[in-house]
Chains A and B, each alone.
Chain A
Amino acid sequence: MSKIKSLDDLRKMKADLKSKISLREKGDNVEQKVQVKVAMATCGIASGAKQTMEFFMDQLEKRNIDGVTTQTGCMGYCYAEPTVEVRLPGNDPVVFGNVTTQKADEIIERYIKNGELVDGIIPVNYETIDDNE
């Protein structure tokens, strides 16, 4: 890691990272990949998010899907933990609730492979600061 020596450095870095939608594997074609984010706060982990995340990492590879699985913080849907966000290339992200490994399997087979939605989607019910500009 190189040091950031000025605000310009930081700006450059941000622009660079933003264009890459920096995920753990900073590959060049990350936008072409299926991106899976698992909410891994204490509460999520307590409801089994770790198993869900391991399942995604393991199964995306086994089923030859070009994707990356990363962790994120609490999405706020405690009533539906574990929660997982899936972004298919060129699509808006979709959040699924109560994702057990069984549900994860269904998501991989139906949504990730075929683009069919599956029950248990959590609609976005908030505005972000970017909506507010």
Chain B
Amino acid sequence: MSKYRMHLMVCGGTGCRASASDQLAENLKKELTKYSLEEEVQVIMTGCFGFCEKGPIVKVSPDNTFYTEVKSTDAEDIISEHVVKGRKVNRLLYMDPEKQMHVSNSTDMGFYKKQIRIALRNCGFINPEDIDEYIARDGYMALGKALSELSPQETIDQIKESGLRGRGGGGFPTGLKWEISRKSESDEKYVVCNADEGDPGAFMDRSILEGDPHSVLEAMAICGYCIGAKKGLIYIRAEYPLAIERLKTAIKQAEEYGLLGENVMGMGFSFTIELKYGAGAFVCGEETALIHSMEGLRGEPTVKPPFPSESGYLGKPTNVNNVETFANIPVILLKGPEWFSSIGTEKSKGTKVFALAGKINNVGLIEVPMGTTLREVIFEIGGGIKDGKKFKAVQTGGPSGGCLTEKHLDTPIDYDNLIASGSMMGSGGMIVMDEDDCMVSIAKYYLDFTVEESCGKCSPCRIGNKRLYELLEKITEGKGVPEDLDKLSNLSYVIKDTSLCGLGQTSPNPVLSTMQNFHHEYESHVKDHKCTAGQCKSLMQYTIDTVACVGCTACARACPVGAITGERKQPHFVDQSLCIKCGACQDRCKFSAVFVN
């Protein structure tokens, strides 16, 4: 039906545009008109191919030719050779670095696709409110397989063999957790899904629940079968209304089909799932606090042991897993533990979903095999830093994590490497920062978050974090002294060592990791009272260039606090003691006479 017999797809991602891909598209169109082919062949600009390193990219369909590093001057060859004569332009084909061969068909180069979607397999494919679509894609087949072919222990063994580790941040082996819960003797047990996603900038779990709620329900039922529980609870924050709505619909549909409830699929196993709402407290992502919150108590953590697998919800053995962990389970059972463990690194198997945010071109939700490097994530899939700025750091692991810098870019991402680099996997938020970000302010931002979210039960976290925040505030206001840096690190270690739960034990991480990686920035704040990134307002100084100033009085009239004085047609001056650093003078000056130190 198409009137075009061929399409030339030119990458219009930010990276490729920066290397003149729009000019390339123009040239291709011009060349087509030369041969009067504009009615037969269409040139199309696309989004990012995720292969920016080799950009600009041109993909030809229907023959799937994949040209890389195409310059705008190559348009002539592509049209005269490939389009007109049907001969591929060899020199522009992607060169397989291992085989030293040109790859002419892009279906043979799946390796350029850095992402594999396992946990996100149905997100964006199925209608989350229609159970039939889930069933059509092997939904509830894993539950059926477990119930009919595998004993609970055999099912657990498969999960153990797969090497799956908790995706909520801790990285505890999931199969082992299930086994401990299974071995705890009790008349009643519970399966809990932790959907209390609280890291700033993280939205992996929400996307899974909104896009594929049944995969989580199915996995919870499998877990129930394995550990001997009849009841599942999903602890979800009330600020995720759409996810809640879709979960409710999904539970109802599964019950109507007999895939949840009494006697599932006629196989004698019963399992029901109920939703429990949280008010969005960060500490409730910690499993003991989460359980207390579900019981109707204050969301405060308690000391472990006893672990929830022994004594959890209502004092009964409770298995708590994160949303993404559950989403992996059905696939592991269907495709086998060997398949799963063939993906990833030695100690971290499978994939990880990340929410890419911050100063990055392709903000989005991605899923990469463990062992992918930060460079691949940020510069290939993420399309690089916005506005061509310089990469400075990436924050992983949320308020419990740390900042990684340029020297970590080629480190393969897995649980252990991230910890060794001074950060952590966390739930999967990844916030990218550029040269304009002040690392002291970043640390302060995260501390502000922890101070707000601390439950107040133990003093190191309640008081210590507050004092830590005040120290950072003092430094960003330009009142810091060099001794403050020692205080910062000493206090950080005390908080880490003495806090009751994971929140306090990790809350100083953003401070420690920024101090370690960007010590010079802290030093310039406390010694020279300068913020190199130009973020800390108190450390900025607006001054007027007496040569450039013509004395038009525009700045003096714009200044809201009357800090600028000067006669008409005479150079003006800023009184630093009055200046509030609002920048109005700089905006108003037509002669670029106002500058910032």
Contacts and interface: CB of A to CB of B under 8 A. Distances in A.
Given A1-B257, A6-B265, 14 more contacts: A3-B257, A9-B265, A11-B141, A17-B132, A41-B210, A45-B242, A74-B123, A76-B123, A76-B365, A119-B12, A121-B9, A126-B115, A126-B366, A127-B117
A20 B243 CA distance: 27
Interface string B230-245: 0000000000101100
A122 B124 contact: no
Q: Which 10 A-B pairs have the closest CB atoms?
A: A73-B211, A115-B2, A126-B115, A125-B50, A75-B124, A3-B258, A17-B136, A122-B47, A76-B365, A7-B144
A75 B123 contact: yes
Which of A83, A85, A126 gathers most chain B CB within 10 Å? A126
Contacts of B361: 79
Interface residues of A, number: 59
B573 interface: no
Contacts of B117: 126-129
B123 A73 contact: yes
Contacts of B44: 117-119, 121
Given A1-B256, A116-B42, A127-B116, A78 B363 contact: yes
Contact of B116 (A74, A116, A126): A126
A41 B206 contact: yes
B207 A123 contact: no
B266 interface: yes
A43 interface: yes
A132 interface: yes
A47 B517 CA distance: 37
Interface of B: 1-4, 7, 9, 11-12, 42, 44-51, 59, 110, 113-118, 120-130, 132-133, 135-136, 138-141, 144-145, 147-148, 203, 206-208, 210-212, 240, 242-243, 253, 256-259, 265-267, 331, 335, 339, 361-367, 381
B123 A120 contact: no
B124 A7 contact: no
A123 B51 CA distance: 11
B79 to A, nearest CB: 18
Given A73-B207, A125-B50, A10 B265 contact: yes
Contacts, number: 199
Chain A residues touching B, majority SS = loop
Contact of B364 (A9, A77, A114): A77
Contacts of A24: 127, 130
Contacts of A114: 1-3
A80 to B, nearest CB: 6
A77 B362 contact: yes
A127 B363 contact: no
Nearest to A122: B47
Interface in A100-124: 114-124
A23 B125 CA distance: 11
18 contacts: A7-B147, A7-B265, A14-B139, A17-B133, A23-B127, A37-B125, A41-B207, A79-B363, A119-B12, A121-B46, A123-B48, A125-B49, A125-B115, A126-B116, A126-B366, A127-B113, A127-B115, A129-B121
